[in-house]
Chain A
Amino acid sequence: MIREPVLNALILAALLLVPLGALAMDEPFLITLATKVAIFALAGVGLNIALGLGGMVSFGHAAFFGLGGYATGVLASHALNYDPLMTEPFQIEGTTQMLVHWPVALLLSGLAALAIGALSLRTSGIFFIMITLAFAQMIFYFAISWPAYGGEDGLSIYVRSEFPGLNTLDPIQFFAIAFALLALALGFSSLIARSRFGLALQGARQNEARLRATGIGPYRIRLVAFVISGMITGLAGALFADLNRFVSPAMLSWQTSGEIIVFVILGGVGRLFGPVAGAGLYILLEHNLGGLTEYWKLPFGFLLLAVVLFARGGLIGLLAGEKRDG
C-alpha cells in the first residue's frame, strides 16, 4: 500500500512527465492524449464533488460539459466570422480569448446547475439520476435542433482560442494550460473537502437526519455543491472544445455523462485524485485496446464491472487502501 498523498503526487508527476517526455521524443500525439486526460480529469473532479463528496449521482453532467464547450465555440465562431454576438440593445462581440471564454463557461454551467439542481435535488436516489439525465437530454436535443450553431453537425473553431503570453497552438503549451487548471481544481477540491462546507456535505451523504438535527439543512448544502460541481465540469468542456477545435451535441449526450461517471468510479469515488487516475486509465485503455479492436468497450465493460464488484475504492483504493479522513 502507498500512502494516498504519495500516490497522488506520483499520479500528478506522471501526468506531467509523459507529455514532457513526448516533447523530447517529438511525439505530439502523446501530448494531445495527455491533454485529453487532464481535461477529462478536470470534468471528473467537478463530478466528484457532487458524486463523491455529496453522494449525488448526477447522470447529467454532460449538460455542463457541453455548455462549457458551446460557450467557447459560440464566442470563438462569432469572433472568427467578425459577426457580433448581439447588437441590440448594445453590441457584444465574440472573442477568441480563453480568459473570457472561461468565465462565460463557468457562469453558464453554474446557472444551468443551479436550475437543474434546484429541481432535481427535491428528489433522491433513482429519481435524481433520471431527472438529471432528462435535463441533460433536453439541452442535447435543443443543441441538435438549433441550426444557428451547426445543429447536429456541430461547430468548428478554426483557430484554437488564445491565452495571453502563450502559443496555444503548440501542444505542450496548451497542455500546460489544461494541467494548471486541473491542479487548481484539485487544490480547490481538496480545500472544500476538509472545510466546514465539505464536512456538512459529506455529512449529508452519510446521514441526512443527523445533519438536520445539528441545524444544517441538506438541500442548500447540496445545491451549492452541485453548482460548484457543474461549473468545474463546464470549465473542462470549454477546454475540450479548444482541444478538438470543434463542439458538437455529442459533448451533451448521455454517453458523455456516463463517461464522466466512469472516470470517477474507475479512479475511486470521493478520492481526490480518483478522476485523474480514472481518466488516465480510460484514455490508456481506449488508446491501446482501441488500437487492437473496435470492440474495446466490451473488455472495458468487464473491467468496470470488476471495479464495481471487487474494488469499490477504484484504482486509488486498490493502491492506497481505504479512505482515511482528517
Chain B
Amino acid sequence: MAEPVLSIRGLRKSFGALTATDDVTLELRRGEIHALIGPNGAGKSTLIKQIVGELRQDAGEIRLRGEEISALPAEARARKGLARSFQVSSLASEYTVLQNVVLAVTGAQGRAFGFLRPALSDPSLTGPARRALARVGLGAREGVRAADLSHGERRSLEVAMALALEPAAFLLDEPMAGMGPEGSARLTELLSGLRSEAPILLVEHDMDAVFALADRITVLVYGAVIATGSVAEIRAHPEVRRAYLGEEE
C-alpha cells in the first residue's frame, strides 16, 4: 500500500490531569477526505494544533510524506506542505482579499525577502492568488478589505489561502462553520474536487457535509480514537452512535 501523506502515531498530550489527546493514531491517505468528528471537547482542535505545530505533543510522532515534522515550528511545517484553515477565521484583517492570498503565495514560494518590487504588481504572486480566489468564488471581491467581508466570505478566503499554498495535505478546521446553505453547498463541491490534488483532514460539525464528503471518518471521544472507518461503518458503529450521534434506538 502507498505511504500515507500524513501519518500520526501514538500522539499524546495532557494539560495537567486532563488528557486532551490519548494515544491517537491516524492516517491521511492520498486522494481521500478524512473527516475527524467528535463531540465538543473531544480534543479535535488540540489534535489539529499539534499537527500544525501550534502545540507540542508530549509523546508520539507526526510524519508528513514519511518525514518526521513534530519538532518543526509551524512555519516550517507549512513550508513542508501542510496547509491549514483556522476554526475561527484568522486573516490579516487590514489587508484586502487579494493581499491576503498574495501573502499566502509569497509564503508558498518561500521568498519573503524581496524589498523593491511591489508585491501586487508581480504576476507570479497575483496570478496564483487570483486563481485561488476564483475557485472559492471570491474573484469579484479581491479589492475588499478582509475586515469588511461577510462571515461566509471570510471562511472562503481561509480556504483560498490554503489552496494558494499548493500543499501536500489540507487541514481544514470547520471550514463550513456559520456558512449559509448556499456557501456550504459550494464549498462542499469544491472540497470534493480538491481531494485529487491533496488529501484533506476535515474537522466538521455539519454531519450532512461529513457524510457527503468523507471517504473515511475517525471519531474522537475524550481525546481517544474510538473508531475509524468508512461512512457506512461509522454510521453502523454502536459505540459511535451512543457516544456521538446520540441515538438511542
Q: How many B residues touch the partner, as a band?
A: 35 or more
Check A289 for interface membership: any CB of B closer than 8 A: no
> Which among A203, A207, A214, A325 has the highest number of chain B CB atoms within 10 Å?
A214
- Please determine whether B92 and A210 come into contact, CB atoms closer than 8 angstroms: yes
B99 touches A199 (CB 8 A): yes
The verdict on A326 contacting chain B, using a C-beta distance below 8 Å, is yes
* Pairwise interchain contact A214-B54, C-beta atoms closer than 8 A: no
Interface 9-residue window, one of A101-109, A131-139, A190-198, A271-279: A190-198
Q: How long is the Cα–Cα vector from A296 to B78 in the complex, in angstroms?
A: 53
B210 within 8 A of A: no
Nearest CB to that of B79 among chain A residues? Answer: A215
**B108: interface (CB < 8 Å):** yes
B78 contacts which of A191, A199, A200, A215 (Cβ < 8 Å)?
A: A215
- Interface secondary structure of A, over-half rule: helix
Most chain B Cβ neighbours within 10 Å, of A196, A216, A323 = A196
A303 within 8 A of B: no
Q: Which of A195, A202, A206 contacts B118 (CB 8 A)?
A: A195
The CA-CA distance from A70 to B133 in the complex, in Å, is: 52
Asked whether A195 lies within 8 Å of B119 as measured between CB atoms, the reply is: yes
Question: Do the beta carbons of A216 and B86 come within 8 Å of each other?
Answer: no
Contacts of A197 in B (CB 8 A): 112-115
- Say which residue of B96, B104, B122 sits within 8 Å of A214 (CB atoms): B104
Contact of A215 among B98, B110, B145 (CB under 8 A): B110
Residue of B nearest to A190 (CB): B118
Tell me the complex Cα distance, A199–B54, Å: 23
- Decide: B106 and A325 in contact? CB cutoff 8 A: no
Q: In the complex, which of the residues A199, A211, A218, A325 has the most CB atoms of chain B within 10 Å of its own CB atom?
A: A199
Instruction: Tell which of A195, A213, A218, A325 touches B99, judged by Cβ atoms closer than 8 Å.
Output: A325
B115 touches A211 (CB 8 A): no
Which residues of chain B from 155 to 205 have any CB-CB distance to chain A below 8 Å in the complex?
161, 165
Interface: A212 (CB within 8 A) = yes
Closest to B92 in A: A206
Report the nearest B residue to A228, measured CB to CB: B115
Nearest-CB distance from A261 to chain B (Å)?
21
Q: How far is the CB of A208 from chain B (nearest CB, A)?
A: 10
Most buried by A among B91, B92, B114, B125: B92
Q: B94, B95, B106: which contacts A196 (Cβ < 8 A)?
A: B106
A215 touches B119 (CB 8 A): no
Assembled-state Cα–Cα distance A192/B115 (Å): 5
Query: Who on chain A is nearest to B106 by CB?
Result: A196
Contact of A213 among B78, B110, B111, B112 (CB under 8 A): B78
Q: In this complex, what residue of A is CB-closest to B164? A: A214
In the assembly, what is the distance between CA of A208 and CA of B108, in Å? 16
Alpha-carbon gap, A325 to B119, bound state (A):
12
**Residues A214 and B114 in contact, CB atoms below 8 Å apart:** no
* B206: interface (CB < 8 Å): no
Q: Is the CB of B106 within 8 A of A209?
A: no
- Inter-chain CA distance A196–B78, complex, in Å, is 18
Contact indicator A196/B125 (Cβ below 8 Å): yes
Q: Closest CB-CB distance, A220 to chain B, in whole Å?
A: 8
Assess whether B114 is in contact with A213, with CB atoms less than 8 Å apart: no
Contacts of A212 in B (CB 8 A): 53, 73-75, 78
Is A224 an interface residue, CB under 8 A from the partner?
yes
B116 in the interface (beta carbon within 8 A): yes
Q: Any chain A CB within 8 A of the CB of B103?
A: yes
Name the A residues within 8 Å of B54 (CB-CB).
209
In the complex, how many angstroms separate the beta carbon of B88 from the nearest chain A beta carbon? 10
B93 interface hit (Cβ, 8 Å): yes
Say whether B13 faces chain A, with CB atoms less than 8 Å apart: no
> Contact: B106 with A214, CB < 8 Å?
yes
Instruction: Say whether A318 faces chain B, with CB atoms less than 8 Å apart.
Output: no
* B107-A215 in contact (CB<8A): yes
Known: A195-B114, A214-B161. A326 touches B98 (CB 8 A): yes
Of B52, B93, B113, B119, which is within 8 A of A207 by CB? B93
Q: Is A217 an interface residue (CB 8 A)?
A: yes
Q: Give Cα A191 to B119, complex, Å.
A: 10
> Which residues of chain A in 235-272 are interfacial with respect to chain B, using CB atoms and an 8 Å cutoff?
none
A213 lies within 8 A of B92 (CB): no
Taking the complex as formed, is A221 at the interface, i.e. its CB lies under 8 A from any CB of chain B? Answer: yes
Please, which residue of chain B has its CB at the minimum distance from the CB of A200? B112
- Give the complex CA separation of A196 and B93 in angstroms: 17
Q: Are A214 and B78 in contact (CB under 8 A)?
A: yes
Task: A194 to B99: give the CA distance in the assembly, Å.
Answer: 10
Chain A residue contacts of B108, Cβ below 8 A: 214-215
Give the complex CA separation of A214 and B90 in angstroms.
Answer: 12
Complex contact A216–B106 (CB within 8 A):
yes
Is B84 part of the binding interface, using a Cβ–Cβ cutoff of 8 Å?
yes
Q: Give per-residue flags for A308-326: 1 if the beta carbon is below 8 A from chain B beta carbons, else 0.
A: 0000000000000001011
Q: A195-B118, A213-B74, A213-B84 are in contact. List 12 more A-B contacts (CB 8 A).
A: A191-B115, A191-B116, A194-B118, A195-B115, A195-B116, A198-B119, A214-B75, A214-B103, A214-B107, A216-B103, A221-B112, A325-B145
12 A-B contacts (beta carbon < 8 Å): A194-B118, A195-B115, A199-B95, A199-B106, A206-B94, A206-B95, A209-B86, A211-B107, A215-B76, A215-B78, A215-B79, A325-B99
User: Which 3 pairs between the two chains have the least Cβ-Cβ distance?
Assistant: A214-B107, A215-B78, A215-B107
List residues of chain A with CB under 8 Å of any chain B CB. Answer: 191-192, 194-200, 202-203, 206-207, 209-218, 221, 224, 323, 325-326
